[in-house]
């Protein structure tokens, strides 16, 4: 965590800086898989498990309650689609999805709320992170990116009107 925090000191929000690079090269370099109307999906550069994704609103807010209903709906929709894609491509058996809201809750980037989507396989949790303070990653990030990207490309941009109910603009 110290490494992550020190790497981003004085650079502003790591998420806001990365999402502005909507070019193909910029997206690949920053491990961004998808740009939606209100949120984007990005691979975690410091993953808990292979395929660890984050669904991140464009709006720079520290609380989920500060996001309007349209942003919240897309956030949940993209979380579900991320799980579906991870199960299809990486063949994971399940997923952990969650947010750490606030530093006290363990948020590494507390000022920009985001959803973690962590694929899980039977027996994937072992002693390495606890005893050896190390993680075992079976595949390079760029390789996983290349496997996941075509499935995210199939989503297209989901417009707010797709969601049921009336939602105000972001």
Structural domain contains residue 108: yes
Structural domains counted in the chain: 1
pLDDT one digit per residue (tens) for the chain, 170 residues: 554 555 455 567 888 877 666 666 678 888 999 999 999 999 998 888 899 999 999 999 999 999 999 999 999 999 999 999 999 999 999 999 999 998 898 888 889 999 999 999 988 765 455 444 545 556 789 999 999 999 999 997 766 555 544 344 44
Residues 131 and 143: their CA atoms lie apart, in Å, by 28
Structural domain contains residue 169: no
Please identify every residue annotated as catalytic.
Answer: 114
CATH code of the domain in which 111 resides: 3.30.428.10
Within a 13 Å sphere around the CA of 146, how many CA atoms are in the beta-carbon half?
5
Cβ contacts of 108 within 8 Å, gap of 6 or more: 1, 4, 5, 100
Q: What is the pLDDT of residues 11-52, one digit of tens each?
A: 678 888 776 666 666 788 889 999 999 999 999 988 888 999
Structural domain contains residue 102: yes
Enclosing domain of residue 138: 23-158
Structural domain contains residue 81: yes
Structural domain contains residue 2: no
Structural domain contains residue 7: no
Structural domain contains residue 167: no
Q: To 10 degrees, what angle do helices 141-153 and 69-89 make?
A: 120
The reported pTM is 0.80
Structural domain contains residue 110: yes
């Amino acid at each position: 965590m110290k490494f992550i925090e020190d790497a981003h000191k004085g650079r502003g929000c790591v998420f806001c800086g990365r999402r502005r690079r909507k070019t193909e090269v910029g997206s690949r370099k920053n491990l961004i898989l998808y740009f939606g109307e209100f949120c984007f999906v990005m691979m975690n550069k410091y993953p808990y498990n292979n395929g660890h994704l984050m669904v991140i609103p464009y709006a720079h807010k520290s609380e989920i309650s500060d996001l309007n209903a349209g942003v919240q709906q897309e956030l949940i929709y993209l979380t579900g689609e991320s799980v579906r894609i991870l199960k299809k491509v990486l063949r994971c058996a399940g997923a952990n999805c969650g947010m750490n809201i606030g530093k006290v809750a363990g948020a590494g980037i507390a000022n920009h709320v985001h959803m973690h989507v962590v694929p899980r396989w039977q027996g994937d949790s072992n002693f390495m992170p606890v005893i050896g303070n190390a993680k075992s990653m079976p595949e390079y990030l760029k390789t996983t990116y290349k496997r996941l990207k075509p499935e995210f490309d199939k989503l297209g941009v989901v417009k707010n009107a797709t969601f049921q109910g009336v939602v105000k603009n972001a």
